[in-house]
Amino acid sequence: MMGSNDKPQDELFYAFNLEELVPQDHLLRSIDRFLDFTDLREHLAPYYSHTGRPSVDPELMIRMLLIGYCLGIRSERQLCEEINLNLAYRWFCRLSITDKVPDHSTFSKNRHGRFRESEAFRFVFEQVIKRCIEEGLIGGEGFAVDASVVKADASRQRHHEDDDDDWGGGSRAINEYLDALHEEGSSITPAKKVSQTDPMARWTAAPGGPAYYAYSTNYLVDTEAGIIVDVEATTALRNQEVWSTKAMIERVQERFNLKTQKLIGDTAYGTAEFLSWMVEEAGIEPHVPVWDMGNNKPDRFGRSDFIYDAETDSYTCPGGKQLLRSRRNYSKPRTGIPKDGFIRYRAALHDCTNCSLKTQCCPNTRVRKIMRSQHENVRDVARVIGKTPAYQQTRKERKKVEMLFAHMKRILKMDRLRLRGLSGARDEFLLTATAQNLRRMAKCLGTGPPKIPETVPI
């Protein structure tokens, strides 16, 4: 007999429990184990009034944002709709089946107000880091660093003219840029193109690709379990990306008492100045390739083929001739270093002219010249480390940072920012790193799928 779902009367009461409906192996259930917002309320208390109507629970808003960043829901309007429909999302947000979901506009008001003033997202990120330390996921022996460019919410066709002082309506991003531009000791460097909607974004391009406005997210990752111990937002400039590492390492040491023994990075972090800071000031082993432009032609003698003698302060070429800083006798010896920090050593003209190795050394110039950095001693330290078996292993560990960037853009859909200004980029990068750390903890320490009971043979 064919069944029917028709009922004479709808039920008046339902026995309904969200806890029973959320699977034990659900991602949000695993993440919820590691979240504790007890200290968040105390942290935000000074930024709320003691009078007036009760506000939306800040824990609820943080939980809603974490759902969006953990599951790649980029639109806050869509996020509110998904939470309204999805029972697992309601359970994670501590909302019953009848509770109303806050309006999407609530996020904007709180983000640009008390959340940004109190650095709430930084606070939540650091609370997760503390939990990672407690769970033993952070060793602190080695950190890997890298930067990735993320497109800004700015049109490629709209540029601000240099002679135009009118910035239109004066949005938050524009006001932030103008305040930073006019403050004393501003670090903003002139750019060829400036966005009309997000002036802090930098006009950049990947090799062989189209140019666009973008920011850079900088990750400092512990190599033991791939946990992001710090994140910093910068404009898409190589120099700012490199030196943001200094700020991240110092902040991690100050707040978590984690002092790394080695730093792993690519060639961008192998500049003489940054190596000097790592070795001489921070006492960190530089597991980075040295930025060296003297060995770029395989059929020519490179800088490594010339032997330096510290006693005579000179180089000896493969032909046995000396390269000196100066061949003149000054009444007052000149020991100064040029502004660029590189000392020039030159061979004598008669030595190079009659040399049988000139075609392999300097066929297009009259004499051979070697440039030596004032920080060459720390560059030599990095070169020695680069020949060790430990360095070959750290080259593999550096890929953990690149994997996190790929996960960020492909899985979490963080390939373009929604918020404008450097503050907006900082908020998004902090929430993304928090989501990635929570997902990593859920993977390493989660309950996992329920076990299938063994079948009893008959």
Give, for 423, the enclosing helix (H) or strand (E).
Answer: helix 421-445
Tokens 């709320």 appear where?
A: 48
At residue 5, the pLDDT reads 66
333, two tokens = 């010896």
3-state secondary structure (DSSP) of residue 138? coil
- Mean pLDDT (the chain) is 86
Instruction: Kindly indicate the confidence band of residue 452, based on its pLDDT and cuts at 50, 70 and 90.
Output: very low
What does the alpha-carbon distance between residue 433 and residue 404 come to, in Å, rounded to a whole number? 9
**Is the pLDDT confidence value at 61 over 80?**
yes
Q: Is the pLDDT of residue 7 over 80?
A: no
For 22-32, what is each residue's pLDDT tens digit?
Answer: 998 899 999 99
- Each domain of the chain, given as residue ranges in start order, spans 18-126, 138-160+170-182+190-291+384-433, 303-374
Q: Mind listing the pLDDT tens digit for each residue in 425-449?
A: 999 999 999 999 999 999 988 654 4
* Mean pLDDT, residues 182-210 taken together: 81
Residue 456: what pLDDT?
A: 43
With cut-offs at 50, 70 and 90, classify the pLDDT of residue 12: low
Q: What share of the chain is helix, strand, coil (3-state, %, to 5)?
A: 40, 15, 45
Token pair of 70, please? Answer: 């953990």
Mean pLDDT of 258-275: 92
What pLDDT, on the 0 to 100 scale, is given for residue 169? 63
Q: How far apart are the C-alpha atoms of 225 and 120, rounded to whole Å? A: 25
Give the pLDDT of residue 295. Answer: 61
Hunting for tokens 């066709």 — which residue is that? 157
Longest pairwise C-alpha distance within the chain? 116
Of the listed ranges 81-90, 254-263, 286-295, the least confidently predicted one is 286-295
Provide the β-strand partners of residue 322: 316
- Whether 266 has a pLDDT exceeding 50, the answer reads yes
Whether 261 shows a pLDDT value over 70: the answer reads yes
Would you state the pLDDT for residue 457?
A: 46
Predicted confidence (pLDDT) at residue 47 exceeds the cutoff of 70: yes
Give the whole-angstrom CA distance, residue 143 versus residue 83.
37
For the chain, give the percent of residues with pLDDT over 90. Answer: 51
Is the pLDDT at 64 greater than 90, yes or no? yes
CATH architecture, domain 138-160+170-182+190-291+384-433: 2-Layer Sandwich (3.30)
**Do 118 and 383 meet the contact criterion of CB atoms below 8 Å apart?**
no
Q: Which residue has the higher pLDDT, 92 or 54?
A: 92
Q: Alpha helices, DSSP H only, in 99-164? A: 105-110, 116-117, 120-134
What's the pLDDT tens digit per position in 302-326? 888 888 888 888 899 998 988 988 7
Mean pLDDT of the 34-58 span: 87
Question: Is residue 300 very low, low, confident or very high in pLDDT (cuts 50, 70, 90)?
Answer: confident
The lowest-confidence range among 110-119, 168-177, 310-319, 396-405 is 168-177
| Whole-Å CA distances, 81 to 2, 22, 158, 415 | 37, 19, 33, 22
Residue 138: pLDDT band (50, 70, 90) is very high
Average pLDDT, integer, range 13-25: 82
Bridge-based pairing of strands 285-287 and 262-264 is parallel
Within 257-313, residue ranges assigned H as helices are 272-276
pLDDT at 458 (0 to 100): 42
pTM of the complete model? 0.86
